[in-house]
Amino acid sequence: MNPPTGLSDAEVRDRRARGQVNRIPDDAGRSLARILVANTFTVFNGVVGGSFVLLLVIGSWQDALFGGFVIANTLIGVVQEFHAKRVLSRLAVLTSPKAHVRRGGHDVECAVSEVVQDDLLILRAGEQVTADAVVVEGDGIDVDESLLTGEAEPVAAGVGRELLSGSLVVAGSGLARVIRVGPDSYAARITREARRFSLVNSELRRSIDRVIRWISIALIPVAAVVLNGQVQAAGGWSAVLAPGAWRDAAISSIASVIAMVPAGLVFITSVALAVGAVRLSRSGVLVSELAAVEGLARVDVLCIDKTGTLTEGAMTLDRIDPIGASAPDARAALAWLAADPAANATSRAIGERYGAAERAGSTPVATVPFSSVHKWSAVEFSTGVSGGTWVLGGADVVLNDAPDSADVRARAADQAAAGSRTLVLAHSARPIPPARADGPRLPGGLRPVALLILGERMREDAARIVRYFDDEGVQICVLSGDDPRTVAAIARAAGLPADLDGVDARTLPADPSALVRAVTTHRVFGRVTPEQKKTMVLALQSAGHTVAMIGDGVNDTLALKCADLGIAMGSGSGAARGVARVILLDDGFAGLPGVVAEGRRVIGNVERLARLFLTKTVFAIALGLAFGAMLQPFPFLPRQLSVVDGLTIGLPSLVLAFLPNPTPYRRGFLRRTLRFCVPAGLIVAAATLAVVTLAGGLGLTRAQVQTAAVITLTLSGLWVLVILPRPLTRLTGAVVAGAYLGLVVVLSVPLARAFLLLELPPVGIVAAAIVISGAASLLLEVVQRTTGRPMFFRPRYRSGR
């Protein structure tokens, strides 16, 4: 039979013309132009940016200090999405730079993207399968599909077996005909779904975006009320439309509208997240998206793969159990069997105990290398204490025809059920028989000498981190492609419940509701396919859980993508790292508690900041509507409000954002924040309105009224700052004291008063402002004590079996 020659040049050109090439389309989200448009032309930017431009046009640049937040918020959104797009566009399941194919009887090298339908791929040990193909010719081909399927052991690939693109040839050689290329291939399907753009499921960002959207929508009718009020206060529309008369009304209206927008909240939240990401990077945790810092602090289910997470992915020889009273010396045989040039993980584990010292003085006359086809290896010695043939392999294969071996095979099966990998070492005085066409043959007269009990090497930090998450109320769910009995045993060794059983994922129901019940009542699953991992993560999410997924292989990619937070090992596949939001550079669990702590710090501090910013929004809206309804001038200039913001919010927020905060995550961030902000904002607004009304009734100048309003607003707003960082530390106490001192400086320095157009009112009005602000502070204490109780505690979910 003539060997396959592959496609001719004409056939290759024909397939290229028909588009049957192995190119994966780049469809990783929106273009840069669309990203810019989407983040620039928002309602928020329209209102705030329009106000900024209007102030510049009328020549009041001193009142346009808030414009920097528009630019900062837009840049944050653009940079974040564009960075994610670049990461996803580089994502690839196929990492091989070249493919080797046979065309016209010649072996040629070409780019992976130039492989065409029906090409003959040349399979070689150590190379990646670059397109979906079927083996048409082969000699002892073993393929590692662990990155794709989660199966830890290489599988034999005989003629007719389909190979998935992205798998790795670990032994043998041969030819495979390409059956799917480009977007139809397995690697492309995973890559396409993994490249789909999405943001981290962030409660902080979602809640802040919702508030900004509500405020943006409310600004239009509120701004109309405010504008009409300022126009009427200035003498009516006819008077305002006179040349130059509209300027003061416009500035007052803009001051009111801008005060309603928590412009710095998005900015300072992003800064807090960015600082958290920098802190984590110092401990070997890389965050690819800022919002991921808060993610793990909210998680209540942590899904992990066994290999590479609980275990290191390497085997270890736990013990050797002799069989029989007098067994020949097997050390030299084990040393030579472990020295197999094509040694797999099992042989390498044996080689860590038996090496060159045990091989000394013995030379084999024949060997049979291990293959996943026949599932055993052998070495033959002619003389010495180790003379004869030694065979190492699975008990059910090596002892299949051996008499009186049922007990040994049963012991091996029991060890496998306990999660260990078991091999039998057998000895025969006979030589290795000649091989036949279908492969090597076992010698007759084999007698079991020892059982080798191997286990996967546990990560040193696995048990500690499992215990940590259990204490934190986070349920750990193991999803693996290995035997469920083995997975359950490893999970128990890592600290999961001792009565825990593994579930074979092949038996899981297809019905969505039944699947949800299964994944919420069990914790360990084996024989899980990549698609099932994704489906199980979605099922947990549909049950109300916040799910994190840890993985390192291509088989984890879809689940990593769909999880609320994807976490990849640094040594994992490029596809896994590409879709993950957090990467553990040291490949261990040790960094996860730090991620939790950093996430808690960010969530707790941003909640404090949100209360500051949104309290300001509430009192600004209340004041705007009040003065608009009363047809009275708004008692602030934009520059004056900028200073008040700087004293009560801006500068303090830069400190509050970075304080330690170990408070556990509690659901209901937005509702809890609004419960405080709405009454607190109304109290501050009422105090300011009372002082302005009092000062206006005494016939004071507009500058004196504005100064009295600034004093009242700052003093009452600063009490919110006193409340939020409790218990006060030296640092937070210094921040509060500095803010009060800042007000004194602003009122005392003539240059500052001149820039802000402030004029000190009579002492009686100043005293009234202080007294009314004190009363407001007492009411704020009442609000804090009545609304500061936790509304939602993190629930502890069923651990299941």
Please give the positions annotated as active site. 305
Torsion sign (Cα): 703, 709, 712, 716: negative
In DSSP notation, 642-702 reads HHHHIIIIIHHHHHHTTS---PPP-S-HHHHHHHHHHHHHHHHHHHHHHHHHHHHHTT--H
Q: Is the Cα torsion angle 735, 738, 743, 749 positive or negative in sign?
A: negative
Cα-trace Rg, the chain: 35
Buried b vs exposed e over 453-491: b needs ≥16 C-beta within 10 Å?
A: bbbbeebebbbebbebbbebebbbbbbbbbbbbbbbbbb
By C-alpha distance, which of 482, 488, 485, 494 is closest to 457?
494
Question: H or E segment at 620?
Answer: helix 592-629
In sequence order, the β-bridge partners of residue 100 are 109
Sequence-distant (6+) residues with CB within 8 A of 211 are 262, 265, 614, 617, 670
Residue with tokens 């825990």: 500
Straight-line distance from the first to the last Cα atom of the chain, in angstroms, rounded to the nearest whole number: 57
Task: Give dist(CA 469, CA 144) in Å, integer.
Answer: 32
Reading the block at residue 304, the tokens are 């992990």
Helix and strand numbers (H, E) in the chain are 30, 21
What region, left, alpha or beta, does residue 319 occupy, with left being phi > 0 and alpha being psi -120 to 50 degrees?
A: beta
User: Is the backbone of residue 446 left (phi > 0), alpha (psi -120 to 50) or beta?
Assistant: beta
Residue 41 dihedral angles phi and psi, to the nearest 5°: -95, 75
For 766-786, the DSSP string reads HHHHHHHHHHHHHHHHHHHHH
- Whether 79 contacts 22, CB under 8 Å: no
- In terms of DSSP H, where are the helices of 173-291? 186-194, 203-233, 237-240, 246-259, 263-281
Residues 6+ apart with CB under 8 A from 751: none
